[in-house]
């Protein structure tokens, strides 16, 4: 936590979005009782799978081996993600990273990385929310944080269906290093909608030599 954030906490401490208890934007009691857990499922077609792995039917359609996505994008989760992305509330990243760290066996991966945002978006917010979450996961688990991808241009995907999104994200990512060769990568994002963006990131990493890419996100729309 930065000095400025620490001072803000002292002057105006956070309160739980659900019960208004001071101390955190989401207290542990409300996390356990008011946030519905999403069952493990194929991120591509939403059919139930044991660990969130990509189902047999979708394996030929995607480069992502699977994705752990514990929550649905609704109500409190949606409000908290909004606070992280648009209100500058970095505490949300710490809270969700703590939970996400329990959703996967991080010892099975060589590094944790993140879906990159555009330079303009990062300058406006002051950070990339996916990178913040990945950094917290790295701090909690000891898994090495590596910046593996660069977004070369911004594409507005609002209102697009999956086929249109898949076409739109083609060739907008490139790898930033050769450290991904023969590596298993845990790739973090905040929200997955159709899966087109994180799938394109996985494809680029696989083309660069990664042996496996597994997604990890807070919620799925």
Residue 181 has a CB neighbour count (10 Å cut-off) of 12
Residue 22 in this model has a pLDDT that exceeds 90: no
Please, what sign has the CA dihedral across residues 68, 79, 195, 63? Answer: negative
* Averaged pLDDT score across all residues of the chain: 88
Residue 7 in this model has a pLDDT that exceeds 70: no
pLDDT confidence of residue 9:
42
Segment 76-85, tens digit of pLDDT: 899 999 999 9
Only one residue has tokens 């955190």, namely 24
Q: Which residue has the higher pLDDT, 144 or 10?
A: 144
Output the CA–CA distances (angstroms, integers) from residue 211 to 31, 76, 205, in the order listed.
34, 36, 9
Segment 83-100, tens digit of pLDDT: 999 888 899 999 999 999
Q: Is residue 184 within 8 Å of 110, Cβ to Cβ?
A: yes
Write down all domains in the chain, each with its CATH number in brackets: 37-220 (3.40.50.2020)
Residues whose CB is less than 8 angstroms from the CB of residue 53 and which lie 6 or more positions away in sequence, other chains included? 42, 65, 66
As a whole number, mean pLDDT of residues 135-154 equals 94
Residue 44 in this model has a pLDDT that exceeds 60: yes
Q: Which residue has the higher pLDDT, 87 or 36?
A: 87
pLDDT confidence of residue 13:
53
- Report which DSSP code applies to 51: S
pLDDT confidence of residue 12:
41
Q: Which residue has the higher pLDDT, 213 or 119?
A: 213
């Amino acid at each position: 936590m930065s000095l400025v954030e620490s001072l803000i906490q002292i002057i105006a401490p956070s309160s739980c979005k659900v019960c208004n208890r001071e101390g955190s934007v989401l207290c542990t009691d409300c996390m356990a009782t008011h946030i519905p857990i999403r069952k493990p499922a194929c991120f591509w077609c939403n059919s139930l799978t044991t660990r969130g792995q990509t189902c047999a039917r979708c394996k030929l359609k995607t480069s992502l081996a699977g994705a752990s996505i514990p929550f649905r994008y609704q109500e409190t989760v949606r409000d908290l993600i909004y606070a992280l992305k648009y209100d500058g509330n970095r505490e949300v990243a710490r809270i969700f990273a703590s939970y996400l760290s329990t959703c996967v066996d991080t010892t099975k991966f060589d590094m944790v990385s993140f879906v990159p945002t555009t330079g303009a978006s990062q300058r406006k917010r002051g950070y990339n929310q996916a990178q913040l979450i990945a950094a917290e996961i790295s701090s909690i688990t000891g898994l090495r944080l590596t910046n593996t991808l660069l977004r070369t241009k911004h594409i507005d995907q609002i209102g697009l269906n999956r086929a249109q999104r898949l076409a739109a994200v083609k060739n907008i990512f490139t790898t930033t290093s050769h450290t991904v060769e023969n590596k298993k990568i845990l790739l973090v994002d905040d929200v997955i909608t159709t899966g087109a963006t994180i799938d394109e990131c996985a494809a680029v990493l696989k083309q660069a030599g990664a042996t496996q890419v597994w997604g990890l996100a807070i919620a799925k729309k």
